[in-house]
Structure 1
Amino acid sequence: MLQGDVHHTMKLPDPSRPGQERQVYLFAWLDDYSRLVFGQFYWKEKLPALEDSLMKWVSLYGVPLSIYCDNGAVYSSHHLQNICASLGIQLHHSRPYRPQGRGKVEKFFQLVERSFKSEVELLVKQGKISTLNDLNNLFSLWLNKFYNRKFHSATKQAPMSRWEGNSYQLKHPPVDTLREAFLWKDERTVSLTGIISVDTNQYEVEPFLCGKKVTLRYDPYDLSCGIRVFYDGRQFKDAVPAKIHRHSKKGFQKKLSSTPPVTGLNFLEQLAETKLTKKQALSFSGLEGDLK
Structure 2
Amino acid sequence: MEIILPSGGIFMEEARRQQIALFRFQVIAPLLSVDPGGGRIKSAMEDLASQTWDIPFSSRTTLSRKIIEQWFYAYRRYGLQALYPAVRDDYGHSRAIPDEVAHSIEEMLRARPNLTARVVLDELVAQNLIQPDEIKPATFYRFRKAMGLDKRSPQSKTDRRAFTFDHPNDCWQFDTLYGPQLASPDGSRLPTYLYAILDDATRLICHAQFYPLHRLGQLQDCLKQALLKRGVPKKLYVDNAQLFCSRPLLLSCAELGIQLIHSKPYTPQGRGKVERWFRTVRLQFLSRLDPEALTDLLHLNHLLNAWIEGQYHLAIHRTLGEAPLDKWIRLADSVRPLPAYIDLDRLFFHKTTRLVKKDGTFQLKRKAFDAGVFFIDEKIDVLYDPNDLRRVWVSSPSHPEEVVVYPLDASANRHLPRAQPIEPPSSSYDFKSLDDLRRHMNPDDDPPLCPQTR
Q: TM-score, normalised by structure 2?
A: 0.43
SS in 2 for 1:75: helix
Aligned to 2:330: 165
Aligned to 1:11: 181
Higher helix fraction: Structure 1 or Structure 2?
2
Q: What is the letter of the counterpart of residue 140 of structure 1?
A: N
1:177 matched to 2:343: yes
Aligned to 1:275: none
**1:202 Cα deviation after fit:** 11
Q: What is the letter of the counterpart of residue 347 of structure 2?
A: A
Question: Residues of 2 paired with 1:108 and 1:160: CA distance?
Answer: 15
Decide which of 26, 46, 56 is 2:194's aligned counterpart: 26
SS in 1 for 2:298: helix
Question: Residues of 2 paired with 1:27 and 1:143: CA distance?
Answer: 14
Question: Residues of 1 paired with 2:340 and 2:370: CA distance?
Answer: 32
Larger Rg: 2
Aligned to 2:112: none
Structure 2 counterparts to residues 119-130 of structure 1, below 5 A: 119-121=288-290, 124-125=291-292, 127=293, 129-130=294-295
**1:26 Cα deviation after fit:** 0.6
Structure 2 counterparts to residues 128-143 of structure 1, below 5 A: 129-143=294-308
**1:228 Cα deviation after fit:** 6.0
1:82 matched to 2:251: yes
SS in 2 for 1:111: helix
Q: What is the letter of the counterpart of residue 31 of structure 1?
A: D
Task: Give % identity.
Answer: 31
Distance of aligned partners of 1:225 and 1:104 in 2 relative to their CA distance in 1, 3 Å threshold: closer
Aligned to 1:36: 204
Distance of aligned partners of 1:219 and 1:9 in 2 relative to their CA distance in 1, 3 Å threshold: closer
Q: Is the 8 A contact 2:317 2:323 kept in 1?
A: yes
Unaligned stretches of 5+ residues in structure 2:
1-170, 356-361, 373-377, 409-454
SS in 1 for 2:222: helix
1:68 matched to 2:237: yes
Distance of aligned partners of 1:219 and 1:40 in 2 relative to their CA distance in 1, 3 Å threshold: closer
Deviations 1:231-260 (A, max 9, x none): xxxxx533898xx99xxxxxxxxxxxxxxx
The size of the alignment, in residue pairs, is: 225
Q: TM-score, normalised by structure 1?
A: 0.65
Structure 2 counterparts to residues 106-255 of structure 1, below 5 A: 106-121=275-290, 124-125=291-292, 127=293, 129-166=294-331, 167-174=333-340, 177-185=343-351, 218-220=384-386, 221-222=388-389, 225-227=392-394, 237-238=401-402
Higher strand fraction: Structure 1 or Structure 2?
1
Question: Residues of 2 paired with 1:240 and 1:53: CA distance?
Answer: 25
Question: Residues of 2 paired with 1:223 and 1:22: CA distance?
Answer: 24
Question: Residues of 2 paired with 1:55 and 1:175: CA distance?
Answer: 15
SS in 2 for 1:150: coil
Aligned to 1:249: none
**1:223 Cα deviation after fit:** 9.1
Deviations 1:19-59 (A, max 9, x none): x2222111000001110012111111112221111111111
Unaligned stretches of 5+ residues in structure 1:
191-196, 205-209, 231-235, 246-292
Question: Residues of 1 paired with 2:254 and 2:323: CA distance?
Answer: 32
Q: Is the 8 A contact 1:26 1:42 kept in 2?
A: yes
Question: Residues of 1 paired with 2:196 and 2:213: CA distance?
Answer: 14
Structure 1 vs Structure 2 CA RMSD? 3.7
